[in-house]
Structure 1
Amino acid sequence: MAAAQTPCVLVVEDESAQREVLKYNLEAEGFRVAIAVNGDEALLMVREEKPDLMVLDWMLPNVSGIEICRQVKANPDTRQIPIIMLSARSEETDRVRGLETGADDYVVKPYSVVELMARLRTQLRRTRPATMGERLTYDDIILDAGEHRVFRSGDMLHLGPTEFRLLSTLMEKPGRVWTRDQLLDRVWGRDIYVDTRTIDVHVGRLRKVLMQNGGADPIRTVRGTGYSLG
């Protein structure tokens, strides 16, 4: 179950040696890795896998990395996915073009794997802070992902592992409305079948713990859709 919180990185690279280096180093860092070897496959996997980050080569057969980036960032369902673009093009105009198309970072080949991993972690700290061991705060609630502890108004709360993952997901994006299916994918993982009503049970348990010392309910139920923090 714990793997549900492990970020998934989609590597889009047509050179097999580069793919293997990236896959090896990403898995050594503890990430789940999905692979696409061309643009069409990449766009399909973005829809199916909903990766937490993309490492995207500029030069690809059929659909270029620039076009993939443009399509991913133009889609409201995927535009939040950080994209690190890899390119042998080192001219400033190329870097500007990549960033203006929507890439969140631009790395010139040949690159340092250590530097690339650092840039990747920087992007994930921005979009998936709980998975990177960051401390999250919302109102009087503090979630320390590194220590795996939750406090409200200074009191330590005791959450089960599922409720902890559920709260960390909600706290990463306060105000965002998560559908039940999105929460199932994020908290349980895409490969595990769980009835959507299970979400309601665990939200109920989470609410009970969060309010055990008299605090207001911070979780909003969006009728017919899902849940939001605040």
Structure 2
Amino acid sequence: MSGRILIADDSANVREVLQMNLETLGYEVLVAEDGDQALQTIYRDSPDLLVLDVMMPKQNGFQICRKVKADPERAGTPVILLTAKSQREDVYWGKDCGADEYMTKPFSAKELEDTIERLLIRRAAARSHALLNFEDDLERRRAAGEEGALSLLHWDSRAMDVFRKKYGEVRYAEALERLKMEGGSFVQSETEGGRIEFVDGQGFRLLLSGDPEEVEELAEELCKRLTRLVRAFYDASDRERKMIPIRDFKTGETQSVPLLSFTAEVNPFGR
């Protein structure tokens, strides 16, 4: 097995031991001694897997993991969190920030090596799957007899037009980027093999396999999250009114345009 692995730990001894073991197995190993160095390395060198100590200075492992999993381009990078703690709340925070595995020190080298290999194999399979375009993936799932649904997460085009005109393209671009990140993070953390894609002028489409009722619930939940997120980009006065007054220059009348929201159109497929 090959791959580029980042070891981020403030203990020089841990870094050296893990680096030696993993390089012996044929991995390329990068090291960082604090959270800031780790984040710089992640964005500069794009490692295939991250081994992060929870209690690092500057930025801890939870913070780094959360930032990686919220980035659509890096959300698929496996993360192993290492800690000397084993309290239930630490395990909870590890899972909450999106970590793929949570290991308590001391651990055996074999245990870590096996975990790394398993996660890299899973990542390779996921990346191969991602090479299919959206339509091909949908047809593949149908041909395989999978159950699931293609959901269209619509926004109201009139509400979006008004938002862009009132707040400008800079805020629109910021809101759109946050929406894409939220959608990617949701699919990564809440689904198995799900896909989401932005559709210009319409919203998003979501492809999920599984029980149709459960898939519909996930689509509805993502709509709620996207709606809450985008409304944070409105001014407080507009949020309080829950609408934006717009003057129609042809008639001279004032119209009330609701704030942007998302609705799900769920189209099941399969058995």
Amino acid at match of 1:69: C
- Any gaps of 5 or more consecutive residues in structure 1? 130-168, 178-230
Calculate percent identity across the aligned residue pairs. 37
Alpha-carbon spacing, 1:24–1:38, altered in 2? closer, same or farther (3 Å): same
1:226 counterpart residue number:
none
Give, in whole Å, the separation in 1 of the partners of 2:128 and 2:70: 25
Bigger Rg, structure 1 or 2: 2
AA of the residue aligned to 2:131: P
- Structure 2: any 5+ residue segments left out of the alignment? 135-271
Which consecutive aligned stretches of 4+ in structure 1 deviate over 6 angstroms post-superposition?
none
Distance in 1 (alpha carbons) for counterparts of 2:127 and 2:79: 23
Partners in 2 of 1:31 and 1:99 — Cα distance? 26
1:176, distance to aligned residue in structure 2 (A): 5.8
Structure 1 distance, partners of 2:41, 2:71, is: 14
Q: 1:27-106 maps to which residues of 2 (within 5 A)?
A: 27-106=23-102
RCO higher in 1 or 2 (8 Å CA, sep ≥ 6)?
2
String of CA shifts for 1:117-173, please: whole Å, max 9, x gaps: 1111110110125xxxxxxxxxxxxxxxxxxxxxxxxxxxxxxxxxxxxxxx97463
Give the Cα–Cα distance (whole angstroms) in 2 for the partners of residues 45 and 20 of structure 1.
17
Which of the residues 4, 18, 22 maps onto 1:8?
4
Instruction: Tell me which of 121, 124, 130 is aligned to 1:125.
Output: 121
* Deviation by residue 1:86-137 (Cα, 9 ceiling, x = unmatched): 00110122112101111000000111111011111110110125xxxxxxxx
Correspondence 1:1-230 to 2 at 5 A? 6-128=2-124, 171=128, 173-175=130-132
Evaluate the alpha carbon distance shift between residue 99 and residue 170 of structure 1 in structure 2; reply closer, same or farther with a 3 A threshold: closer
Structure that is richer in helix per residue:
2
**CA RMSD of the aligned region, Å?**
2.0
Secondary structure in 1 matching 2:75: coil
TM-score under structure 2 length normalisation: 0.47
Q: Secondary structure at the match of 1:54?
A: strand
Corresponding letter in the other structure for 1:86: L
